[in-house]
Structure 1
Amino acid sequence: MQNHFDLFHLPQRFDIDMTALDKAYHEVQNQVHPDKFAHASDAEKRVAMQWATRANEAYKTLKSPFGRAAYLCELNGVDLQIESNTAMPGAFLMQQMEWRESLEDAKAAKDIGVLERLEAELRGARKKEVEQIGKLLDANDFHAAAQGVRQLMFLEKFGDEIGRIFETMDI
């Protein structure tokens, strides 16, 4: 079975052309669109639906830096050990603790300014982490990249948390 990169005729690397990904995705979706199979047999409709579902999953994975990085690690035989390996560098853990404390304070005080500052810091940290992961992946250092992917997962979850707090505040 072909991998997500092959499905869209893209090179198997972290740094991909998003325009090419979008174009390839739409081409695949056009080929398997339900309207094209309106008069087909049930089996043909089912196969087309499976391809559409697979294309959706592949597109979602490759569109996301986190998903793409995790997928590249897995394709290259590196288990991310997301559940079993929670070891993180001390500096990263300290940053997480500081951010969490600031988040709790901002939430309690309903301080939008602090939340916006935290969100900006997180965006910067996420961008830096994604760039580092990309360099490691494109240099075929999948084990080191896996550590970065685990860290990025924490950053993504923290960003989701900030977003939920923004949603609960009357702005």
Structure 2
Amino acid sequence: MKSRCVVNQFDNYFNLFSLPVELPIDKNTLNRHYQQLQRQYHPDNFATENETKRLAMLQYSAEINQGYQILKDPIRSAEYFLSLQGVASDAEQTIIHHHDFLMQQFLLREQLEQIEMLTDNVVQQQALSDFSQTIDQLWQQNQQQLLSSIQQSDWSVATAQINQLRYLHKLQQDIESLEDKLFDL
């Protein structure tokens, strides 16, 4: 008996996961729907089907995975949301015009470099922990500003917030790298 292969048509990843087209995304619902779709459309379920159906299911499974990766990431999901509104996220053009933010990033990077050069391991760990909390607070503030600008359909501010979140995310990654170095000692 052959299994029936019906691929749901979707016009965006929000619809694919039965989510409202809005931010923030309910991560629990996203995860639950992702698991359901993976069970339903896993390529192994179609191993006995003809090659065309197997390839279609493989492609659909890849699309499910790609959609999940985009929607679970706050920056990528915001970019995707804006793209659905017809707004291109142009990082280079937006950030250049935010002198205050660039100056803040310069000072934060300088502060991280100073923490990295501390010689007392205990002092360094505490300074890094405090710095990490500061960056997390900045992330939360920028995330709230992003959501507010989206609610107001202020796409230029939303784009700027996304780009600022990219910088903060990079800084968070650098903090994690330094933490890894410290705990490897």
Structure 1 regions of 5+ residues with no counterpart?
none
Structure 2: distance between partners of 1:24 and 1:167: 34
- 1:41 aligned to 2:54? no
Structure 2: distance between partners of 1:83 and 1:50: 33
- 1:129 aligned to 2:142? yes
Q: Is the 8 A contact 1:72 1:137 kept in 2?
A: no
Q: Is the 8 A contact 2:34 2:68 kept in 1?
A: yes
Cα shift at 1:88: 4.6
Considering only aligned residues, what root-mean-square deviation do their CA atoms show, in Å? Answer: 1.7
Cα shift at 1:16: 2.5
TM-score normalised by structure 2 residue count: 0.85
**Matched AA of 1:167:** D
Cα shift at 1:159: 0.8
Aligned to 2:61: 52
Cα distance, 1:84–1:90 mapped onto 2, change above 3 Å: closer
Structure 2: distance between partners of 1:37 and 1:6: 23
Cα shift at 1:86: 3.0
Aligned to 1:103: 112
Larger radius of gyration: 2
| CA deviation profile, 1:30-54 (whole Å, cap 9, x unmatched) | 1211231121122211111111111
Aligned to 1:8: 17
Structure 1: distance between partners of 2:18 and 2:154: 23
Structure 2: distance between partners of 1:116 and 1:54: 38
Cα shift at 1:95: 2.0
Query: Using CA pairs below 8 Å that are at least 6 residues apart, which structure has the higher relative contact order?
Result: 1
Number of aligned positions between the proteins: 171
Cα shift at 1:60: 1.3
Moved over 4 A (4+): none
Q: Is the 8 A contact 2:149 2:158 kept in 1?
A: yes
Q: Is the 8 A contact 2:94 2:160 kept in 1?
A: no
**Matched AA of 2:96:** A
Structure 2 regions of 5+ residues with no counterpart?
1-9
- 1:165 aligned to 2:174? no
- 1:152 aligned to 2:165? yes
**Matched AA of 1:39:** T
